[in-house]
Amino acid sequence: MEGVMRRSSIALLVGALAIVASLAVGPVASAKPQRAQGGTVVFIHDQEPPNLQGPWVGNNLYATALVTNNIWYGCQIYNDKADFVPRLCVDKPKIVKEKPLTIQFEYKKEAVWSDGKPVTWKDFWATWQVFINPKNNVVSRTGWEDIKSVSRVGTNDKKVQVVFKTQFADWESVVSTGPYAEHIIRGKDMNQMFLNDIPVSSGPWKFQSWQKGVQITVVKNNAFKAYKPMQLDRVVFRYILDTNARFQALKAGEGQVMEPQPQLQIADFLKDKNFVVDQKVGYAWEHIDIQFGPKGHPALKQPYIRQALITGINRPQVAAALYKDIAPGLPALQSHMFKPFEKDYRPNWKVYPFSQKKVIEILKSHGCTGGPDKPTPNNQNIFSCPGVGKLSFRFVTTAGNQLRALTFEIIQRQLKSVGIELVPRFGTGGFVFGTVLPSGDWDLFMFTWVGGPTSNITAKDFYGCGGDQNYMNYCNRKLTNILNKVAVTLSADERAKLLNEAEAKYMVKDVPSIPMYARPIYVIHSVKVKGPVVNPTQEGSPWNVSDWVA
């Protein structure tokens, strides 16, 4: 008996040692650098795509676009300056007739699918059909449903003619879309397609494998001749959810490229000579919407109070403080229509420089009482204004977003010292966006619009009377008329003129929404990898993957 016990305990011990040993041997066996044979780049990302469907309800994620943009390659893509450059197309698409709006473009002879079939007008036609089929759960049909017909020009299968039913101003985005392969999707239920893989590719890389929960691997598409082929053999997208682990993994060489959210950890990489950090201001802009509807605070219906609010927030300081180490000199955003790097950007909101003294002046001149006489850091006295009550506003934003929380704290403090109170009402994204925002039962709401180079074309949805995303219940007829006109104006210069005029003339006076700052975006890459640069559009940094060298 004793012998048995001892033997079994020895066996246990040996077993334990074996496991410990195997754990310890692991490092020796595999600790060699992962810089693989012939050019692999490991791209670390935070979110794993749920599937590869792309602009579908339940997907529509940047994480998916990063993988699929270079598979469904476009007639044109956005370069790092957010200008369209031809890729599968011979040249830029052209307007051949204005009424009805008729566009022609031509795919290159070299534009072929990875299985050898050519890319033709039929592919674009099939793509159009996918987007307008009511059975398909696509996220947006805008533009696609404005198309009247898609046909080839003469007998040239490569040359496509698209006729629109309306003067759809954003036609270029639509025709530049990377088409689906008609021969792959023919007769298929698109809601069930591309859940786990994509069998063909018209772009620089093609899908190879997906180890769920860990990584997606794409490899060079050898059939791709329409533009510079990829020099790398493959790109591996590795998914690491935890923010800190993601940065640490990059630092430890477990990956070479990453597009981090603006986080202070980037500062650490700015100083590190083993890494290159590229940054630009992006299209996502943080703003505070003001509620005009019946459920909002009555005070907010007074223009002078909205003007006091924007005057009392030190917007340049918020941007500067939050991004001091990672984007020094990030300016406050002075336009809802354009971003500071765009040529049509006009600082329309500059007419409201920060002045706490002026806030108190404005409020007092309208008969408000009970507030401080001069800006006071630890002020507890809140103004009450005639007929609209105490200036205490419900401030809604998403919980769990540290930058927003910090922004709120700064703003809250700034306004409190001039006698305006903000009461935080934080909630989960699902709750605040799904329930609170559409209900109009809030006073101030801070969130981000993620836009693109042409999203201002549909500014009417944000600021027009009854606009789809006008949750502020803001309505100015004259403004709405101009914005409606913008949506059907084909010339970009003409649109820019109208937008800037509308903003300067009406919106700045009405203050329906306070622009805060456009979020900077980043690419960090190891010095061992050359080529990645920030692309501010949905193309993401792999837009120029052909230039990447490892």
Partner 1 sequence: MTERPASDTVPSDRDEAARANAAQARAATMAPGEVGAPDLELVYETGVEIKARSQWAYARMRFLRHRLAVASLVVLVILGLVAIFAPEIAPYSYDAIDLDNLNQSPTLSGWHLFGTDQLGRDYLSRVIFGLQTSLWVAFVVALLSTAFGTALGAVAGYYGGWIDNLLMRFTDLILTLPGLAVLLTAARFFGQGDVNVDLGPLSFVMPQPLVIGIILAFLFWTGIARIVRGLFLSLREKEFVEAARAAGAGDLRIIVRHMLPNTVGPIVVNATLVVASAILVEAALSFLGFGIQPPKAAIGSLIADGQQQGIQTWWLVTFPGLVIVIICLAINFVGDGLRDALDPTQRRTRA
Partner 2 sequence: MLTYIVRRLLYSSVVLVAASFLVFLFVAKGAGDPLAPLRITPRIDKAGLERIAEEKHLNDSIFVRYGYWVKDAVTNQFGTTLLTNKPILPDLWRVMKNTLQLVVVSELLAVLIAIAIGVYSALRQYSFFDYAATTFSFLGLATPVFWLGLMLQVLVVQIYLWTGHRIFPIANLNSADPGHGISFVLDRAHHLVMPVMVLMVASIAQYSRFMRASMLEVVNSDYVRTARAKGLLERQVTMRHAFRNALIPLVTVVALNFGGLLGGAIVTETVFSLDGMGLYFINALNTADPYPVMAWLMVTASTIIVFNLIADILYGILDPRVRYD
List residues binding partner 1 (CB under 8 A).
243-244, 247-248, 263-265, 267-268, 317, 320-322, 324-325, 378, 399-400, 402, 405-406, 408-410, 412-413, 424-428, 431
Q: Which of 116, 154, 187, 213 binds partner 2 (CB under 8 A)?
A: 213
Name the binder of 504 from partner 2, partner 1, none, CB < 5-8 A by kind. Answer: none
Nearer to partner 1, 127 or 398 (CB): 398
In whole angstroms, give the CA distance from residue 458 to residue 317.
30
Residue 448 pairs in a beta bridge with 286
Residue 56 identity (one-letter amino acid): W
| Cβ contacts of 491 within 8 Å, gap of 6 or more | none
| Cβ contacts of 333 within 8 Å, gap of 6 or more | 285, 286, 287, 315, 319, 339, 340, 349, 515, 516, 517, 518
Nearer to partner 1, 80 or 272 (CB): 272
Least distance in angstroms from the C-beta of 48 to partner 2? 8
The total of other beta-carbon atoms located within 10 Å of residue 545's CB is 24
- Answer yes or no whether residue 238 interacts with partner 2 by CB under 8 A: yes
- Answer yes or no whether residue 51 interacts with partner 2 by CB under 8 A: yes
Nearer to partner 2, 29 or 380 (CB): 29
Least distance in angstroms from the C-beta of 255 to partner 2? 8
- Answer yes or no whether residue 14 interacts with partner 2 by CB under 8 A: no
Nearer to partner 1, 38 or 424 (CB): 424
- Answer yes or no whether residue 317 interacts with partner 2 by CB under 8 A: no
* CA dihedral sign of residues 95, 97, 100, 104: negative
Name the binder of 460 from partner 2, partner 1, none, CB < 5-8 A by kind. Answer: none
In whole angstroms, give the CA distance from residue 478 to residue 458.
16
- Answer yes or no whether residue 60 interacts with partner 2 by CB under 8 A: yes
Query: Residue written as tokens 């996502």?
Result: 284
Nearer to partner 2, 187 or 213 (CB): 213
- Answer yes or no whether residue 195 interacts with partner 2 by CB under 8 A: yes
Q: Which of 81, 251, 485, 497 binds partner 2 (CB under 8 A)?
A: 251
- Answer yes or no whether residue 271 interacts with partner 2 by CB under 8 A: no
In whole angstroms, give the CA distance from residue 314 to residue 331.
12
Cα distances (angstroms) measured from residue 202 to each of 71, 87, 92: 6, 10, 18
Cα distances (angstroms) measured from residue 457 to each of 88, 96, 230, 515: 25, 21, 34, 18
Least distance in angstroms from the C-beta of 314 to partner 1? 9
In whole angstroms, give the CA distance from residue 350 to residue 260.
30
Name the binder of 268 from partner 1, partner 2, none, CB < 5-8 A by kind. Answer: partner 1
Least distance in angstroms from the C-beta of 460 to partner 2? 11
Residue 394 pairs in a beta bridge with 423
Least distance in angstroms from the C-beta of 52 to partner 2? 11
- Within 221-370, strands assigned E span 234-239, 257-258, 275-290
Residue 220 identity (one-letter amino acid): K
The total of other beta-carbon atoms located within 10 Å of residue 430's CB is 9
- Answer yes or no whether residue 36 interacts with partner 2 by CB under 8 A: yes
- Answer yes or no whether residue 236 interacts with partner 2 by CB under 8 A: yes
Name the binder of 137 from partner 1, partner 2, none, CB < 5-8 A by kind. Answer: partner 2
Using DSSP's 3-state secondary structure scheme, residue 302 falls into coil
- Answer yes or no whether residue 468 interacts with partner 2 by CB under 8 A: yes
321, two tokens: 């403080």
Least distance in angstroms from the C-beta of 400 to partner 1? 4
Taking each helix axis from N to C end, the angle separating 303-312 and 356-365, rounded to the nearest 10 degrees, works out to: 160
Nearer to partner 2, 241 or 527 (CB): 241
Q: Which of 155, 192, 365, 380 binds partner 2 (CB under 8 A)?
A: 192
Q: Which of 74, 371, 451, 532 binds partner 2 (CB under 8 A)?
A: 451
Measured in degrees and rounded to the nearest 5, phi and psi for residue 104 equal -130, 140
Name the binder of 549 from partner 1, partner 2, none, CB < 5-8 A by kind. Answer: none
- Answer yes or no whether residue 212 interacts with partner 2 by CB under 8 A: yes
